[in-house]
Amino acid sequence: MRILLLCSSFNGLTQRAWLELRRAGHDVTVELAVSEQVMLEAAQLAKPDLVICPFLKDKVPAALWQNQRTVIIHPGPPGDRGPSSLDWAITDAEPEWGVTALQAVEEMDAGPIWAYRTFPLPPEPPRKSSLYNGPVADAAVELVLEVAAKATDPAFTPAPLDYRRPEVRGRLRPAMRHADRKFAWSEATDVILRRVRAADGAPGGRTVLGDSPVRVFDVYRGPVLSGTPGTLAARREGAVLVHTGDGTVWVGHLRRDEPDAIKLPAAAVLGDELLEGVAERPGYSEITYDRSEGVGVVSFDFYNGAMSTDQCRRLASALRYAVAQDTKVLVVRGGEVFSNGIHLNVIQAARHPELEAWMNINAINQVCREVIRCTDQLVVTSVGGNAGAGGVMMGLGADRVLMREGVVLNPHYRTMGLFGSEFWTYVLPRRVGASVARQLTQAALPVGAAQALEMGLADGVLPGARLEFERSVLEYAERLAVSSDYGALLAAKRERREADERRKPLDAYRVEELAEMSRDMFDDRSGFRAAREAFVLKRKAAATPEHLAAHRELSGASTWG
């Protein structure tokens, strides 16, 4: 079928829907719903058999849904209505939630139901972003495929919304207001965690810290300590420990509650004056190292996958330590988001953004170097979450890349106005060849896990939720460490690395890439400054991005798709 995807942004969920529908053989067009006129023009141009809205904040024009079958993917169970579904689900500690595919009608979220999925919610409140990118996205992609299949059946009719039916357990909920997101540090830790996580990653929990109104993100339960609520108990790795009514919480990120303020590590927002005299304390760490007899695991979990200069330096240090151990296999394990490369928010907030960007790219290159030059162990990358730009290239430096089903890669830099570094000119062609590497970086389109396996970006794709996936990767690494051909594999790796070094030293790739990056960062030859500002300040796109529009005209002409 010809399918038009209308979306508010080409985010991870929309990318997965686009990939899976194309993989199922459909002709799929993507259009950003920047206005009613654009939505109507997109439908006139695409002439779709079906319109699907996997992530749409605005109402579909009546002139569209009255003339085209239009299905909305709503992040709530049957009967749930309103724009703040996930926020309320977390705030109200719902034990179960769901996703519903419903037909667009005049009244929002009240149309006939095509299909739905439900799933349990954990007792510990999840971050809204984790919930959206995890079970909600998984269910939504299943529904998109089911809707496309049902649309080909002329006998199928969606079921009218009927609150008398047992599966219709949702209700109309209002949009969450600013007042609903406020909290006081004197409240219980559980209340604060739930309030903040229901607003993470946007718009954040609202409170006052150090006499300044702030938005709070990225919170974790801390130890039970006595102290005045709202005062700082400790700091570590950019996070601060804040006293609550019955304990403490670690706060990873803050944003001043003012226009165009940037979300940053909490310590950077509070500044040296407020942090004076606040001691470092263990109990919070973005990077850990664990080992068994034969396998070492370096785990890192950076908020939204962004890696600042300091974080890269800490990760490079952890990798150096791990490489020096007597284990046989090193697993490099990312977090909820594997990595999206350099930290654009920290760069934008720096006194000299160009210099900070330069330091950041050099620091992440050092991380990549540690992975590539590890020749005393076999290295396995555990990609359990999405990755983009330099984060993809960092993972490709390993000997084996294992990826979780549902992961989406964006192995390109062009949309940010950068040539790219992280030794991509070495590790990407090494896996997929020069021609495909050029196509991936220039087309600037996402790649799904199954596609990554087919083209050689991944060596294995494993099912399951993130924890199940990580257990499977660890079992794989343990088998690799005791395999009878381990010695031959390690010897072959060393020979390849030595041959590659003789052919062209690793430092030569780094120097060539950085020469290009210096022009992008300091001379701004490709619009890095404007692209960075638009990303950091969440400026709404005025039109569908150029690379998506170009793909629309080509309509699936990619040889690797």
pLDDT (0 to 100) of residue 548? 81
Residue 446: both structure tokens together: 């996402």
Quote the Cα angle for 405-410-414, to 5°: 175
Show the low-confidence residues of the chain (pLDDT under 70).
550-561
Task: Give backbone dihedrals phi and psi of 225, rounded to 5 degrees, phi first.
Answer: -130, 150
What DSSP character marks residue 237?
Answer: T
Rounded-to-integer distance, Cα 234 and Cα 248, Å = 10
pLDDT (0 to 100) of residue 557? 35
* HSE-up (13 A, CA, CB side) for residue 436: 18
Contact 51/4 with Cβ under 8 angstroms? yes
Nearest alpha carbon to residue 87 among 179, 1, 151: 179
pLDDT (0 to 100) of residue 462? 98
pLDDT (0 to 100) of residue 551? 64
